[in-house]
Structure 1
Amino acid sequence: MAEKTLLVREETARYARHLTLPEVGADGQVKLKSASVLIVGTGGLGSPVSLYLAAAGVGRLGIVDFDRVEYSNLQRQIIHGSDDVGRPKVQSAAESIRRVNPLVQVDQHDEAFSSANAMRISADYDIIIDGTDNFATRYLVNDVCVLLGKPNCYGSIFRFEGQASVFGLPGGPCYRCLYPKPPDPGMIPNCAEGGVLGILPGIVGTLQATEAIKLILGIGESLSGRLLLLDALEMKFRELKVSRDPKCPVCGDQPTITAPIDYDQFCGTPKQDTAQSPWDIEPSELKRRIDAAEPLTILDVRQQHEYDICNLGGTLIPLDELPTRTGELDRSLPIVVHCKMGLRSAKAVQLLRDAGFTDVSNLNGGINRWSKQIDATVPTY
């Protein structure tokens, strides 16, 4: 951390409620002022983390994100507003942070956090906070933290459930000790596919911010070695013990990963705008077939509540019901399967082909891509 500096009069007034806490006091507030934290992602988790760390007086915040604000972000990403739609997230986030606390230095990294730049970006910060929403970047954050010897304040969210922990402390476990391998591609839908309660990242993000502040101040007991699990529907917290794995390829006794790797390959992540199954068709091809009145079946494998939001007028058979309802499909007709973004439909195509259907295709990018490329009147969600 940077060399200590005194608090100025404005800071004494701003952080008065901290200064009266014996565990913080003036010395602790100076520690916060001298600290630097990198927040990877300015979305659902990164929003509360950034705002609360800024309000607490952490002197330097780095924010990393390559994305732009979309309307679908606003339900949970409270650092952005309606007027920010279309803007780079780091710009929108930086302005919000400065409104909360203009005394904080904000470093904007408007780029994807990748194997090529992660070590460089992370090197000058004391603590890294994982606000990511995909497995590839999550493993990258973990590995970089271990390789650089920096704490990793971890959080994740899905539907009504959240997790939080601290990885990478001396003698403690890392993320790979808990999850040595990623799930198979498409096995766990992301928030865009599965949804998330808008309030949930606020709860988990503030837990991450709390852990970061405790580490900076050197107070309390961190979540290192413990995985905190939240079920917001039942409003219950559970805790699991996590131990360091001596055979872990990153933090183990004989590590085999000594530099960032190809995490998309490791996680089997499909590249953007590439095929999601060997039998993909593009939205333009489906439109051509519809316009030509070619006989076909459009099969929608989403859930009923998604179908009610928007649809292409196809037959609805949710993916989880498809194995027992294949008899409802006409094997003599070509079938084009779609979901929201193309992952569930790719599974459905494989399932149908395994069941003996021969002319089955997957709509690449799902109904969202159809909306963007073919018919903008179809809502995206």
Structure 2
Amino acid sequence: MSYMDYFQNSCRTNTKEDIKVIEGTCSSMCPEAEVILRKKEKLVHVLEVVGDKHKLVKRYARPAADTNLAVAHNLRPFYILKKTVDYLLFEVTKRTDVPILVIYNFVTDRLRAVRQDMIIQELKPNLRIILLEPMIRFHTYFGYLLCEESLNDYSPTLNRNFLLECLKTCLYSYDELDMKITADPLDINILMDNMLICSLENKQQRLDRSLVEAIYVLTNLYDESPMWRLCRLKKSLRNAPAVRLAYRVAIASLHGNYVKVCKLIDKLCPLMFCAVALFLPRIQRAALRVVCAAYGGRAGVPGGALRGWLRLPAARVSRTLQHYGVAGDAGHVRCQRAAFREDAPLLPPSKIEDDHLEQKMNIDYILTYTHLDK
């Protein structure tokens, strides 16, 4: 059972009278018992060694039938969880003494442990949002950053599952806040004040709901469910620039207007681009099939035009055409509908060379910008 399923089931089955909320009392990023055990068994991760000291972070514990995870002294309260998330994302991700995959795997495991503590304690929705939004940014960014890694070392499916788990829990928390606005305006004012205070404790973090909603749409580009969610959002949120742009990309994709999708990609902010970039091989394959059908039997298509339509780098045009059985090169493409290989598997996603985006593809900017930043 996922954290989201556990949380929703708990909300449905428990009433205010029978809910017993557990409040964590652990005052460090790792419970003392785990610190002692891991040092004794020599299970300290290389990223937990800082200089000549150890800085341990609680590991994710897989639920088992004979274990009780709801122990107060092993659970970290919100302010410790926030400190842990900030440490992992703003400090550990900048380490240069280990490979990027080691950093990703370590941070991913420790963030799972944060979500586990968060769900067990059933934190308020505003507090969950503060913890989850940086995780959404992390998994979106690293999903693109590691897209060219070997499947033996990195699982894009697992990263996508973690991202969707964070997204759904975060959006559920936003919906819960929206319901509280209707039910008790005074209560929601208190919650939002707390959110503002908690956000300002670390001036680096900036919350942006419209960006989260947009990432959810683009992460599920060929799914209509996020579109139905957009229809239920408040008008002010639907009209936010990031949400409107994500909607246009999704509609163009569902309508098969691949040229428009590729043009709209140029307008995306870095995180939204990271989400869409993983779908580019699928978009390019579908677009190339349409081009072959439309221009088959004619003189063909100039390579430059095709690169622009499909957002294909010149260095990858020949490989892509050959993979799908289309004759041609970077200069000219000879389209033949019958030659297109329908059975060819999708090419893996790859990084896009874009000087404007490269300037912003750093962890500090990714974790702190909002869709209004230029």
State the TM-score, normalized to the length of structure 1: 0.25
| Higher RCO (C-alpha 8 Å, min separation 6) | 2
State the TM-score, normalized to the length of structure 2: 0.25
